[in-house]
Each structure stands twice: as C-alpha cells, then as structure tokens.
C-alpha cells in the first residue's frame, strides 16, 4: 500500500507540475501573468519548464504539509479544490460548445446535468470551509488578484499607446537621411518592437527618430520577432514600403531558436542587396576587403512610468535648463 500510494503521489505531482507549467505559459501569452523565464527541454511546445513556477509549487506544498500536518486535515481543502476545478471545467466546456454552434438543447442537457452533480459535491465541500478549505480559496483569490491587476495594467498601457502610419513619415525620413547638417547616427538603425501591425508602428519609435535628437541614417529598420509553435522555425517577411531606405521585418523564430537578431539581419541585408532591393553600403575603412554592408545600431524604446517625486525633479531640471538657455550658456 505504501509503494502504491508513493507511486500515485509521484504521478499526481508530475501531472500537477506539467499542468501548472502549461497553464502559466498560456496565461503569459494572454497577458494575464508577468513574464517568466521558460525553458524548452523537448522538441514540442508542450514540453516546457518554468523555474519560478516550480519554486512556487515547492513553497506552497511545503506550506500545506507544515500547516495541515496530516492527510486527514487536508481532506477538506483537497475536496473543495477538486470540486471547484470540476465546475470550472464544465463552465469552459459549456462555453466551447456554444462557440462550436452545438444545439442549445443539447448544451443545456449536458451542462445542467454536470452542474447538478458537481454542485452537490461543491455544496458538501463548503461544509468543511472552516476546517481548512478556506486556504484553497485564499490562494485562488491571490492568483486571481495578480491576474486581474496584470491584465488591467496591460489594457491601460495599450490604451495610451498610440500607433502611427509609417507611410505618412516616409518623406521626413528620406529628408533626414540626406540632411548633412546632422551627423550620421549610424548606417543602419534598427528598432526592435513588439508593437507593429503592418505599416502601423508605436508612436514612440518615430518620436525617437524624428523628435528625440534626429537620428540620421542610410537605412531604417523596424523589426518584430514572433515566436512560433514549431521548435526550429527560422523565417522572415520583409516589406520595404516602396523605398530603398525603410525595411520592415517580421522575424518568425521557433521556440527553441535563440533570438540572435543581429545574425538574422546579416542574412536578410545580404539577400536584399543581392536582389537589388537595398543599395550597397560601401565602407571606406574596414578590416574586411570589399565589405558592402554598413554598421548597425540596435535601439529598444522602453516606456518607464515616473513616480511623483521623479516628475517634480524633472520639472525642476527643465526649469534649470530654461534658465541656462536664456541667461547663460549651460555648463553641464
């Protein structure tokens, strides 16, 4: 009996661990949880390992063992957790059947039947709420609270992020790259962004190029990296928007591929030059004879919220700069 129970515990624990990894991974994709480091030891997307989740499971399990001490004391919490899981599964099944267009009578028959059976189990488990089952509810509420806050914050951020059409600024970019009154910032300026939808791009990127110290370059790159469900995908899609100085790249990489963007861009720029879509970038000084690809500078625009004290300090700093500009030349 001890051997069988030990084997059952091992199987159950492995199911719990793998299920937790999968759920957290999907929640991250849905912007419901913060980003965690994910490892893929296998060849499929479902085989993954999240150290933070593994550590959290270890801490929670240790807490349950120390708090309940015996399996008899854990029965109430376990039964409530199981019945809630059953109810959530039935709820998701009902929603899935509705989305699939199944007849409403069949959906009602299946859902009501399952809800009646599981509801009776749930009502019986609530009787043991005071005897330790409340621990499960507290942990669930804590997880829901984190997911709600993270999802709400993501919606707020997306609400205030403005996108601009690159086509409306092609003339300015073309004029800037020929404006010799500005020093050459770099031959190729690459902006890495996750907020790019066709020709629409995050406003802060164009602001960085045109307003925030104009960045003169021969070619402007806008790169978006997307992770695919295949392990070793390495594909890209290029749109130069009817120019020879703007390159919009969608890079599709497998989940096991290292996101070494410079290495992939080296291949892309070589292909574009060989096809004549991108002009040669001659280098007068180079240790590589006949080099035809210029230098690159990668830029990641990050929006950081300021606390009230930082805003006040920023206002004071701006006032000091205004005084320096109007009364005396700045020394710093």
Task: Name which of 116-130, 220-234, 296-310 the model is least confident about.
Answer: 296-310
Confidence of residue 318 (pLDDT cuts 50, 70, 90): very low
Q: Please check the confidence at residue 312 and state whether its pLDDT lies above 80.
A: no
- DSSP 8-state secondary structure symbol assigned to residue 127: T
Confidence of residue 302 (pLDDT cuts 50, 70, 90): low
Q: Please check the confidence at residue 305 and state whether its pLDDT lies above 70.
A: no
pLDDT tens per residue, range 250-283: 988 887 777 788 888 888 888 888 888 888 887 7
pLDDT tens per residue, range 15-58: 888 888 888 888 888 888 888 888 877 766 667 888 999 999 99
**What is the model's pLDDT at position 89?**
92
**What is the model's pLDDT at position 3?**
93
- As a whole number, mean pLDDT of residues 325-329 equals 36
**What is the model's pLDDT at position 280?**
83
Phi–psi pair at 44, nearest 5 degrees: -120, 160
CA distance 67 to 304: 41
Q: Are 241 and 166 in contact (CB under 8 A)?
A: yes
**What is the model's pLDDT at position 325?**
36
CA distance 81 to 68: 15
**Residue for token pair 């890495």:** 192
Residue 324 tokens, joined: 């320096």
CA distance 6 to 4: 5
Mean pLDDT over the full length of the chain = 81
Kindly provide the residue ranges of all beta strands, DSSP E only, lying in 95-183, ordered along the sequence. 163-165
- As a whole number, mean pLDDT of residues 164-177 equals 90
CA distance 18 to 25: 11
Residue 212 tokens, joined: 């925030």
Share of residues in the chain with pLDDT > 70 (%):
89
* Distance (Å) of CA 55 to CA 20, 41, 52, 60, 254: 12, 18, 5, 9, 26
| Cβ-proximal residues to 50 (8 Å cutoff; 6+ apart), any chain | 21, 24, 25, 36, 37, 38, 39
Please give the model's pTM, rounded to 2 decimal places.
0.62
**Comparing C-alpha atoms, which of 246, 221, 224, 220 is closest to residue 236?**
224
Q: Which residue has the higher pLDDT, 251 or 212?
A: 251
**What is the model's pLDDT at position 46?**
67
């Amino acid at each position: 009996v001890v051997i069988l129970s030990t084997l059952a515990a091992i199987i159950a624990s492995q199911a719990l661990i793998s299920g937790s990894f999968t759920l957290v991974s999907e929640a991250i994709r849905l912007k419901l949880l913060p980003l965690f480091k994910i490892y893929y030891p296998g060849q499929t997307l479902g085989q993954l390992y999240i150290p933070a989740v593994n550590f959290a499971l270890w801490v929670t399990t240790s807490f349950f063992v120390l708090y309940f001490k015996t399996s008899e004391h854990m029965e109430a919490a376990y039964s409530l957790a199981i019945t809630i899981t059953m109810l959530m599964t039935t709820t998701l099944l009902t929603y899935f059947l509705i989305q699939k267009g199944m007849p409403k009578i069949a959906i009602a028959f299946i859902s009501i039947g399952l809800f009646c059976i599981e509801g009776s189990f749930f009502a019986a488990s609530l009787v043991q709420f005071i005897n330790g089952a409340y621990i499960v509810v507290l942990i669930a509420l804590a997880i829901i609270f984190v997911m709600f806050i993270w999802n709400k914050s993501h919606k707020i951020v997306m609400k205030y992020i403005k996108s601009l059409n690159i086509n409306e600024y092609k003339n300015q970019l073309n004029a800037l790259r020929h404006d010799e009154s500005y020093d050459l910032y770099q031959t190729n300026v690459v902006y890495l962004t996750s907020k790019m939808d066709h020709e629409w791009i995050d406003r802060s990127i164009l602001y960085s190029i045109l307003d925030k110290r104009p960045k003169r370059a021969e070619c402007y790159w806008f790169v978006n990296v997307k992770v695919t469900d295949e392990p070793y995908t390495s594909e890209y899609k290029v749109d130069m928007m009817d120019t020879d100085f703007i390159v919009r790249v969608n890079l599709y990489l497998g989940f096991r591929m290292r996101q070494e963007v410079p290495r992939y861009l080296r291949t892309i720029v070589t292909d574009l030059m060989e096809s004549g879509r991108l002009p040669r970038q001659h280098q007068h000084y180079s240790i590589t004879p006949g080099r035809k690809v210029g230098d690159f500078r990668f830029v990641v625009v990050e929006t950081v919220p300021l606390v009230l004290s930082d805003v006040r300090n920023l206002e004071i700093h701006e006032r000091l700069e205004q005084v320096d500009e109007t009364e005396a030349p700045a020394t710093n």
